């Protein structure tokens, strides 16, 4: 599927991996709906990119917010052909520590946003995608989710985050199998350590130390490299039902 004249719904699209994806879609002649809680950054992108993008403020865990974003995409641009789920949160908390036992509330929140939120967007967007006219390959849409290498090499303190991202990886194949009947592909990107707002507060020396952990290239990943993989997945019809590590060959240590 080509991105030209296609419509993408990008969660977490106001910054980081999501912002890079929005920019890539627009650069390739597509249109994008930025679904995010950060209204300031979202509106700034709209001002910069013009009428090829639309910002909708909302929470991926709320059915009414996601439904509003889906309906807005269809009303302004005529449908949805691509979903890229980038919205997510992370915490660092041991199960047993000097601060006490891991709070169930914080564990549930990470699962709710990263896993349930991703599924919430998928189910509501897919219900619209099935009405698209198929292209020459029989495709009606593509859904791309974002996991993390923590799904496979979770570090101490990442139990909630790893569980949520492992769930995203785990639902990729059953979704692809179900949606195959509609010509909708599902792929999950598994990023390593990337330059995102999560690392904005770190000093440069700390960023370089993290980057040095990556075999090659020995640096943090650039959001544009994530967006480049999004493009590759969209354009290659045989990529389906799988996950792709984008990590410079890093394998995380216990801590």
Instruction: Return d(Cα 164, Cα 6) in angstroms, integer.
Output: 30
- Going 162 to 168 to 169 to 170, the CA torsion angle's sign is positive
SS3 state of residue 248: coil
Instruction: Return d(Cα 87, Cα 59) in angstroms, integer.
Output: 9
* List of residues 6+ apart from 136 with CB closer than 8 A: none
SS3 state of residue 229: helix
Active site residue 243: no
Angle between helices 172-179 and 159-170 (to 10 degrees): 20
Count of C-beta atoms within a 10 Å radius of residue 72: 17
State the catalytic residue, choosing from 161, 182, 226, 243.
161
Active site residues: 161
């Amino acid at each position: 599927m080509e991105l030209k004249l296609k419509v993408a719904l990008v969660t977490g699209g106001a910054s980081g991996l999501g912002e890079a994806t929005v920019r890539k879609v627009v650069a390739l002649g597509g249109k994008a709906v930025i679904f995010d809680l950060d209204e300031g950054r979202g509106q700034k992108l709209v001002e910069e990119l013009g009428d090829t993008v639309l910002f909708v403020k909302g929470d991926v865990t709320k059915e009414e917010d996601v439904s509003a974003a889906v309906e807005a995409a269809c009303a302004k641009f005529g449908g949805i052909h691509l979903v890229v789920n980038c919205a997510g949160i992370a915490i660092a908390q041991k199960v047993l520590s000097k601060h006490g036992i891991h709070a169930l509330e914080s564990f549930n929140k990470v699962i709710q946003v990263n896993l349930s939120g991703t599924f919430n967007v998928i189910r509501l967007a897919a219900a619209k995608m099935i009405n698209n006219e198929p292209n020459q390959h029989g495709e009606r849409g593509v859904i791309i989710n974002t996991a993390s290498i923590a799904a496979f090499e979770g570090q101490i303190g990442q139990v909630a985050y790893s569980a949520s991202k492992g769930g995203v990886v785990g639902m990729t194949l059953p979704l692809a199998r179900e949606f195959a009947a509609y010509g909708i592909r599902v792929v999950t990107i598994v990023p390593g350590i990337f330059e995102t707002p999560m690392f904005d507060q770190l000093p440069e020396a700390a960023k370089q130390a993290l980057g040095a952990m990556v075999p090659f290239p020995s640096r943090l990943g650039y959001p544009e490299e994530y967006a480049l993989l999004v493009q590759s997945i969209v354009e290659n019809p045989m990529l389906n039902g799988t996950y792709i590590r984008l990590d410079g060959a890093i394998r995380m240590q216990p801590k």
